[in-house]
């Protein structure tokens, strides 16, 4: 059982790292690069990203992080492994914060962008971008911080796990 607990914690940490890294990459590169493009290019690129990101590779990180962290929490409920559990639960809570932000802010903004249609048919590209960009970027930074915090909690749980043995 100890090997399974450690393996699940490692897998949860890796998938949480993938998720945190995704949001970090948007915050420190993608959205900064897009800040300098014209409105049509911005809308076109974000529409394309929002469509293409929904794939299996994304699902492994985004869905795997919470699934594996939940399994890890269940495996650490008994005995000496229980001392690691608060850090795993903290990671779940921080992931929950990220998920709520994604569901309540970023996805609805993505849907608004998609509903506007093809960029060459949008009458007010500047207005659409203004509605989307600042709010999306601000909340993406918050979800990057939350998921990075979750990653840190899982990394610390791995350190503690090593001390239990």
122: helix, strand or coil: coil
What pLDDT digit, counting tens, does each position of 20-58 carry?
A: 999 999 999 999 999 999 999 999 999 999 999 999 999
> Cα torsion at 33, 35, 37, 41 (round to 10°)?
90
What pLDDT digit, counting tens, does each position of 114-139 carry?
A: 999 999 999 999 999 999 999 999 99
Kind and range of the H or E run holding 79? none
């Amino acid at each position: 059982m100890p090997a399974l607990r450690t393996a699940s914690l490692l897998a949860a940490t890796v998938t949480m790292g993938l998720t945190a890294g995704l949001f970090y990459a948007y915050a420190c590169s993608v959205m900064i690069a897009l800040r300098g493009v014209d409105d049509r290019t911005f809308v076109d690129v974000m529409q394309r990203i929002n469509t293409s990101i929904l794939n299996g590779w994304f699902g492994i990180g985004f869905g795997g992080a919470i699934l594996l962290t939940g399994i890890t929490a269940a495996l650490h409920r008994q005995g000496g492994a229980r001392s690691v559990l608060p850090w795993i639960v903290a990671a779940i809570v921080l992931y929950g914060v990220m998920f709520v932000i994604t569901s309540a802010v970023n996805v609805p903004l993505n849907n608004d962008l998609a509903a506007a249609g093809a960029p060459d048919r949008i009458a007010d590209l500047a207005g659409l971008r203004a509605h989307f960009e600042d709010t999306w970027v601000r909340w993406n930074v918050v979800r990057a911080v939350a998921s990075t915090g979750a990653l840190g909690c899982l990394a610390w749980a791995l350190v503690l796990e090593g001390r239990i043995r």
